[in-house]
Amino acid sequence: MSTSLPSGPSPVVHHPIARAAAHLIGPRGLRNMDRLRNEVAGKVVVVTGASYGLGAATAELFARAGAQVVLAARSVEQLRQVAAGIAEKGGDAAVYQLDLTSEESVTEFADALLHDFGGVDYLVHNAGKSLRRSIHLSYDRPKDVNATSGANYVGPMRLTLALLPSMRARGNGHIVNVSTVGVMFGVVPKWGFYLSSKAAFDIWMRAVGMEARGDGVTLTTFYAGLMHTRMSAPSRWMRRLPGQTPQDAARVLARAVVEKPRTLTPIYGHPFAILAPILRFPMEPILGFVYRRLGDTEASLARAEAIRPGATRIQLAETVGSHAE
Ligand SMILES: NC(=O)c1ccc[n+]([C@@H]2O[C@H](COP(=O)([O-])OP(=O)(O)OC[C@H]3O[C@@H](n4cnc5c(N)ncnc54)[C@H](OP(=O)(O)O)[C@@H]3O)[C@@H](O)[C@H]2O)c1
């Protein structure tokens, strides 16, 4: 069995039928870019996780519409490349280093934003850390706790706390939370760190959104389905499923800021959210059974091995599943 990881979507997902299926599954994005321009031209749009994937595509799209885009993430060189591409097309982009797992980094970033721009018009909580790994492989990996809860929950929570007061004081602003449709399904083995941190921030942000709406600050939660990005690339089966490109999903975020709906989900999101508690009893035993049949991904096993050099290689030969970290 090869241990090399796939990268990028399979060519199958570019087939017109797969593209049509992805479009049907949705949610649909904004088509009329003049509406985006009318909304964001000259406004400050902060996009976390703008170094790759959806964040980079969103920054590019919003900058094309005339926004002053703030790009934040850990990989500064990568951010600079995205910003250079934006500048080449006449757009306005500023780069800030941000590590959401560090309280100090979040505070410095928020202070710099308030100092440099005086406030934020749109805040896109896009940065995220995915993790699909059996719990026994995380026993010796305390960083799994911090990486997921910091990037998906505590960091975005701290950033909101730092920026919301000025948005409320100005009486306007829109926050977009890029969540996952997975939080509408209930629980899936191996996804505990990722789904619990995404679900926690979803609930916290919705409560805050209800409080802040009266002061003119609105919230859209995008429960994203499959997107073909660096995040989903290591999962062999996901690479073959119809999904949105980062550019498709960026247009969904454009719709979020223009139309300001409370939620945006793929077509199956709300039906699953209704069925998940009703079907909990049959689904949990079935998913537990399937989980015991499938192994861990090569990336998860390799990383667990890397930090425990003396450890036994865990059932690699029996592994048939794929993985994303
Ligand atoms: N891809 C999917 O199928 C899918 C499905 C549902 C939801 N989502 C959500 O969509 C959002 C965008 O993901 P993507 O698919 O575009 O993945 P991606 O290409 O891996 O991008 C993730 C971004 O988050 C940033 N990030 C990660 N940890 C960070 C940290 N500690 N501090 C600051 N930035 C951090 C990364 O930048 P650095 O590494 O440079 O810091 C990167 O720019 C995420 O919130 C994800 O959970 C994705």
Residue ranges covered by each domain of the chain? 11-317
Average confidence (pLDDT) over 262-288: 95
pLDDT band for position 218 (50/70/90)?
very high
pLDDT tens sequence across 87-129: 999 999 999 999 999 999 999 999 999 999 999 999 999 999 9
How far does the centroid of ligand 1 lie from the alpha carbon of residue 225, in Å? 14
The whole-chain average pLDDT of the chain stands at 90
Average confidence (pLDDT) over 138-162: 97
Q: Which pTM was predicted?
A: 0.92
Q: Which atom of ligand 1 is nearest to the CA of 74?
A: 41
Take atom 19 of ligand 1 and give the residue whose Cα is closest.
53
Token pair of 202, please? 């979803």
Average confidence (pLDDT) over 158-171: 98
Is residue 16 within 8 Å of residue 189, measured between CB atoms? no
pLDDT band for position 1 (50/70/90)?
very low
* Residues facing residue 313 across a β-bridge: none
Query: Which residue in 96, 153, 194, 223 is the catalytic one?
Result: 194
- As a whole number of angstroms, the distance between CA 186 and CA 195 comes to 9
How far does the centroid of ligand 1 lie from the alpha carbon of residue 315, in Å? 29
Take atom 42 of ligand 1 and give the residue whose Cα is closest.
49
How far does the centroid of ligand 1 lie from the alpha carbon of residue 23, in Å? 22
Q: Which atom of ligand 1 is nearest to the CA of 98?
A: 33
Residue 324, pLDDT above cutoff 60: no
Yes or no: domain 11-317 corresponds to CATH 3.40.50.300: no
Average confidence (pLDDT) over 154-164: 98
Take atom 29 of ligand 1 and give the residue whose Cα is closest.
151
For tokens 């995205």, what's the residue?
82
Residue 192, pLDDT above cutoff 60: yes
How far does the centroid of ligand 1 lie from the alpha carbon of residue 197, in Å? 13
Best mutation site among 47, 75, 153, 227 for ligand 1, i.e. most ligand atoms within 8 A of its Cβ?
Answer: 227
Nearby residues of 123 by Cβ (< 8 Å), 6 or more positions away: 46, 159, 160, 163, 167, 173, 174, 175, 176
Q: Which residue has the higher pLDDT, 323 or 145?
A: 145
Take atom 2 of ligand 1 and give the residue whose Cα is closest.
227
96 is catalytic: no
Q: Which atom of ligand 1 is nearest to the CA of 100?
A: 32
Residue 3, pLDDT above cutoff 50: no
- As a whole number of angstroms, the distance between CA 150 and CA 139 comes to 18
Q: Which atom of ligand 1 is nearest to the CA of 152?
A: 45
Which residues sit with their C-beta closer than 6 Å to ligand 1?
Answer: 48-49, 51-55, 73-75, 78, 98-101, 126-130, 150-151, 178, 180, 224, 226-227, 229-232
Residue 2, pLDDT above cutoff 50: no
Average confidence (pLDDT) over 282-298: 87
Q: How far is CA 84 from CA 8, 47, 63, 77, in A?
A: 23, 16, 12, 10
- Determine the pLDDT at residue 215: 98
Q: How far is CA 226 from CA 32, 92, 233, 245, 257, in A?
A: 24, 29, 10, 9, 21
How far does the centroid of ligand 1 lie from the alpha carbon of residue 118, in Å? 27
Nearby residues of 310 by Cβ (< 8 Å), 6 or more positions away: none
